Structure 1
């Protein structure tokens, strides 16, 4: 909001955009640059903050009007309500737990640390920022460099870290551009893939790539000490259990790292020697035409090329000769498969046409639609995802929801054949506490929650009671209010508490040993599921600004 002739603009306060502290700082600068004197600050403030904040301020100053208060009093009232002073110990905890995220730059990380340190009250802020900055860095190389510097200051640490970060990015970009210019250049031709690096020795695997034999970094798979090992899981040679492809299967498609192509090898995510049973329910089939033949192929985004068995190829392409290829196929676990050849076919899919290479292998199995075809043919992904969910699954889900409809009702359930009873000590005497005042802004929400609980039979209205406990309204994330009784001042000291020994963590782990399936259940408002004995209900009477209510549930 800005009047004619005034410098700048101040919008109504919005707590979703900025804090009240930040808003007041901007407001003071607005008053200063426009020479607004002290007498006009209150009218200007009440005009600028907007209707929502003014309504809150009116509740805080009731029965007085906000215009009767001074500028300092108004800002302090709103400060205490909107931005209460945080606890130092909690702020320091958040500060010391903050580490640099994977996608976060050094400068952004320092900015976040400065923001978190605002309410930490450190004696030496620069030393605290330096220590947390060094300890929280994600890059080990930068961290080691800073730890080796004597008399390290925050400015020096930041300068060194930014320089090393930029140098690392520049080096990666340079290597990428060099790689694009020399490696894996493909010449289009009928049935033959050639590389300009064909005569060169295959490059060693970069140190940061994982070896497919052991899943560790820093060495070439051909030099891995597990290359002759027998996997105890799949009983195949060339890898260990930790790197077994059966561990990386999801929905019938195995994930692969395609950044290592030794001897111009194309990796296949599915082992062509075997077809696993029980996968048909998860397989995604694609219907297309190959040289006019209607063909069903299994979609495999982990496979670098599209393949077909020799048996299927002979029945579909009678008399067609295969073109020799130097390409070598390899399964994820490392077994090599030499294709019998490659054939160029005309593929048609939903008004799309392309001439593509199809590699033929000796082993049996379904035809695989790999990534080389996906680069030329755009699949109907929305339709595929809809089909993969399955109408049968939807029908099963509806039957399950109908069968257990009682579990999905909006009202709170009730335990059967068991009720809670509270036992008092022999010398216990009733205690009655008055209702505590609540903020005007929370009254409508508290009244709505009381009415809701009364309609559900959880609360009952009473006129008199020997016991009465004040309530503590807790605002939840969705803006609604949870009504809690402060029973520590009334009933709790007078109760006979059951002493139940808590199990040790070692005992829990011992009981869980050998388990394969675990589950947990999070009951909505779990305590309200348990009914109370009639003799215990008077003890759980709460005192609100609307009067006395008695709990029928725990």
Structure 2
């Protein structure tokens, strides 16, 4: 093969390779163009969708801001004794809600505030705004209602009076200083007028125990009318004191002379007792004590016989053994001496029956009352017989539903909690921390124990902590009834250093 033929073959192969390379390049370019067209088409659809719904992005932003604020704000729990009121909570976080939540509308801010109420506070708020719902109440109205429901439980004047009577008990100097500052803010002394200040000082000066009713009357007067001046207050209290003194003053004893009797000589025609009968001798013409002495022709009765004759005349009926056993209203026995049969007269109606002699006041029995028909009718006229109780179950059911609707928190499921007072356990000064090891429990009981502890933590009966110098194990007791609680908690150590409270404490 000569050189020309070889060159021609190489050129032909080079041309074929160039054509194949160009074809592959064309295919890659076409595939790239198709991919680019698909991407452009997808971007066009996305931009068109964004242009059709411009409110989509703000809605997502509002949701993000709401979730962020909800995480930062703590839950509100009403406890006026500790100063946990809604006005304090709102004043603390109002700036965060207003500035950090500036992109939110008023309805979203109101929903955020309502969502931070605890269960008891939310139930009380929703019951107060019925028949409205929470979304029907504006932001300003929501804040106003919450401040009224969960604010101070005393009037402004009562708080000012309590502030002026603030005393240090067992607090430290720093705690006492903080207490004075807190009471000062609660009393709102920036708005007090000079007359109100004088009235406060005047009432605080009534410290004697006998002035307690006057002090209460003054406080009630100032609460009803805060604009009362000291002159008006003192005038009203002076009138009250004068009226009370007149009511307590003993009336004077007046001895009225009804008749004056004088022993003097007089003629028989002028005697005032000419037609009077003497109670001693039963004769007419003189009064008792002026009987004329006369000699009886009868033989005098011996003293012993005369006593016997008197006994016959003044004899009493024989007392028979008691027939009944009586008890008073407080279930104490009444001593019954006996009974006798006699005739009686009630308002002109005569009858006969047994009279029982007892150590009690006089009582009229039904057996005697029944013999006096007018009296018996008056007593039994208003009696109601055959009382029907067919609607009792319906009334009981309706009353139960009404109470459950009115007091939602009382009938709520779960364990109740008292928020009116707090219990404090004080250790002895020389007590040393004791950390008791956990008691072993069956492995099969661990899930139920964990479930019970989680339930108590959710109900705020127990609070989880990370570290404690004191610890006591729990004792697990299996109950027979499945409806009862399966855990009982007892303290294992009851020493002098760590005394445990008992039911008698």
Q: Same fold (TM over 0.5)?
A: no
Decide which structure has greater strand share. 1
Normalised by the length of structure 1, the TM-score is 0.23
Structure richer in helix, relative to its length: 2
Which gives a bigger RCO, structure 1 or 2 (Cα 8 Å, sep 6+)? 1
Normalized against structure 2, the TM-score is what? 0.25
